[in-house]
A and B are shown apart, each in its own frame.
Chain A
């Protein structure tokens, strides 16, 4: 068979396959133009297609592999038509998804279906050994031979009827050979071959080769489906996460609104601190303490929204006092970060988001509260919120003083870099300011 192929045809085959491969699997070095086989060299088309299908098993688009198999079989084996029926869940049937062949013999793609209940399908499903050969292939010649075996059929009318049904189905699609493709025990599809144009019979080797191709295609289809299912699952999980995250943010905003409502002087404070914090964070992408930037920003977002939640536990007369606080009152007011952390602690999902709430009043030099943490011992989120919080306090009216102008406030922040604030964060803050993000 292979020996009969002339050079011209060889060259054409290679061109066909080569184009497919170059178009679709450029990353495979042995298929690049530089590794091209010489057109004059004798090519075993089986070897080429086998190699190609092996590499395409990992490929996302099994239709391409199927298209190539159908094309090469039609052209190289010289059948008058070939096609692939693939299981279709919606139609409860096997639908023709690809075909090739001479005019009038080629069955149009998408035109026909074979229902799941059909005798032909049922035979493949059951893997009836009598009607199928040892590789599970159904051939028209084999069916005719069995029908001639009068002794066998005399006792078995049901079998005779079934064979006749299958024969009729094969005649309808003018199939000489039907090759099944399974995944586990499920029949995925059928490779249908019409008679050879030369009217010669298919030899054992050829059919064996078709079985290999059908299995490769089945593998490619299954892999693609598994990948698709997996991607679907990932999308679902992402969607759920997104939903949960939104719920979290909205709950935090509601809580923040509750704090803001108690203190008319700080109305909008939480929203502004959150905005400043996120603007600073944008300047910190690549900071060595941030592992996953997006996750960090999401956490910071919630932490900033909740940073003053502890003020819920501070009495109004202290929170809204117009004169200076007494020492005793100041001690109470300074409890709000810890109260906040205590309120949030039962929400386990918050994790280290609570650190931003608890430590936003710490100072870089260790003179802050509640624990007097120093330098990088203070969680990064807290160091960011600290600058954002101070900046907003400076630039808005307070019960005990009028606001300062922006330029003054920026000077003040700069002055306190290295003492009250982390110098790196201060730099990020100034960058954000220069970009106009803090207005």
Chain B
């Protein structure tokens, strides 16, 4: 089972995404903050990360940076808002693997995740 982590300050979103991708055959971990996400990256090493760009505490950009340093082969999809353009630029430079704009189209979310799975290095 592919491990997927959802990182979002909103518990509702974490719960929903967990249920949504569990039903679709993923093993899902939830992190309510960047701090939690970095712990889970160490212990569980989820290959796919679905992460909100705007977070309190360690924000989405900083979390992305650390994840990409520690696990360069893991795929990180950023969830953004339309007016997050400057943050999106930063995320691009740091090697984010995909973007999805909130409010999002669920079909796009499914596709973005499965594309990220396809892009994973085979030896991983």
> How far is B106's CA from A91's CA once the two chains are assembled, in angstroms?
15
* CB-based contact B15/A113 at 8 Å: no
Q: Which residues of B contact A93 (CB under 8 A)?
A: 103, 105
* CB-based contact B106/A112 at 8 Å: yes
Q: Which residues of A contact B103 (CB under 8 A)?
A: 91, 93, 95-96, 110-113
Identify which of A100-108, A279-287, A304-312 touches chain B. Answer: A100-108
Q: Does A114 contact B (CB under 8 A)?
A: yes
Q: Does A172 contact B (CB under 8 A)?
A: yes
Q: Which residues of B contact A172 (CB under 8 A)?
A: 106-107, 110
Q: Does A115 contact B (CB under 8 A)?
A: yes
* CB-based contact A108/B110 at 8 Å: no
* Shortest Cβ gap from A385 to chain B (Å): 57
Q: Which residues of B contact A104 (CB under 8 A)?
A: 15-16, 18-19
* Shortest Cβ gap from B54 to chain A (Å): 13
Q: Does B102 contact A (CB under 8 A)?
A: yes
Q: Which residues of A contact B104 (CB under 8 A)?
A: 111-113
Q: CB-nearest residue of chain B relative to A110? A: B103
* Shortest Cβ gap from B47 to chain A (Å): 22
* Shortest Cβ gap from A10 to chain B (Å): 29
* CB-based contact B105/A108 at 8 Å: no
Q: Does A430 contact B (CB under 8 A)?
A: no
Q: CB-nearest residue of chain A relative to B19? A: A104
Write the B73-115 contact mask toward A (1 if CB under 8 angstroms, else 0): 0000000000000000000000000000011111100100000
* Shortest Cβ gap from B51 to chain A (Å): 14
Q: Does B69 contact A (CB under 8 A)?
A: no
Q: How many residues of A contact B (CB 8 A)?
A: 21
Q: Does A325 contact B (CB under 8 A)?
A: no
* Shortest Cβ gap from B2 to chain A (Å): 19
* Shortest Cβ gap from B99 to chain A (Å): 15
Q: CB-nearest residue of chain B relative to A109? A: B12
Q: Which residues of A contact B10 (CB under 8 A)?
A: 108
Q: Does B66 contact A (CB under 8 A)?
A: no
* CB-based contact B13/A111 at 8 Å: yes
> How far is B107's CA from A114's CA once the two chains are assembled, in angstroms?
9
Q: Does A319 contact B (CB under 8 A)?
A: no
Taking a contact as CB atoms closer than 8 A, the residue among B16, B102, B105, B110 that contacts A107 in the complex is: B16
> How far is B105's CA from A186's CA once the two chains are assembled, in angstroms?
22
Q: Does A173 contact B (CB under 8 A)?
A: yes
Q: Which residues of B contact A113 (CB under 8 A)?
A: 103-105
- Most interface-central of A110, A111, A169, A173 (chain B CB within 10 A): A111
Write the A401-432 contact mask toward B (1 if CB under 8 angstroms, else 0): 00000000000000000000000000000000
* Shortest Cβ gap from A192 to chain B (Å): 12
- Most interface-central of B10, B15, B16, B102 (chain A CB within 10 A): B16
Q: Which residues of A contact B102 (CB under 8 A)?
A: 110-111
* CB-based contact B106/A173 at 8 Å: yes
Interface residues of A in 106-138 (CB under 8 A from B): 106-115
Interface residues of B in 24-78 (CB under 8 A from A): none
Q: CB-nearest residue of chain B relative to A168? A: B107
* CB-based contact A114/B13 at 8 Å: no
Q: CB-nearest residue of chain A relative to B23? A: A174
Q: CB-nearest residue of chain B relative to A101? A: B16
> How far is B102's CA from A110's CA once the two chains are assembled, in angstroms?
8
Taking a contact as CB atoms closer than 8 A, the residue among A91, A108, A115, A168 that contacts B16 in the complex is: A108
> How far is B106's CA from A353's CA once the two chains are assembled, in angstroms?
65
Q: Which residues of B contact A105 (CB under 8 A)?
A: 16, 19
> How far is B102's CA from A91's CA once the two chains are assembled, in angstroms?
10
* Shortest Cβ gap from A403 to chain B (Å): 66
- Most interface-central of A104, A105, A115, A168 (chain B CB within 10 A): A104
> How far is B23's CA from A173's CA once the two chains are assembled, in angstroms?
12
Interface residues of A in 74-106 (CB under 8 A from B): 91, 93, 95-96, 103-106
> How far is B110's CA from A93's CA once the two chains are assembled, in angstroms?
18
Taking a contact as CB atoms closer than 8 A, the residue among B13, B18, B105, B110 that contacts A115 in the complex is: B105
> How far is B33's CA from A246's CA once the two chains are assembled, in angstroms?
55
Q: CB-nearest residue of chain A relative to B110? A: A172
> How far is B103's CA from A168's CA once the two chains are assembled, in angstroms?
19
The contact sample of 7 A-B pairs, CB cut-off 8 A, is A93-B105, A103-B15, A106-B16, A107-B16, A110-B103, A111-B16, A113-B104
Known A105-B19, A111-B104, A113-B103; further 20 A-B contacts with Cβ < 8 A: A93-B103, A96-B103, A104-B15, A104-B18, A106-B12, A106-B16, A107-B16, A108-B13, A109-B12, A110-B103, A111-B12, A111-B16, A111-B103, A112-B103, A112-B104, A112-B106, A113-B104, A113-B105, A114-B105, A172-B110
Give the 10 A-B CB pairs with smallest separation, nearest first: A104-B19, A113-B103, A108-B12, A172-B106, A104-B15, A108-B13, A95-B103, A103-B15, A108-B16, A112-B103
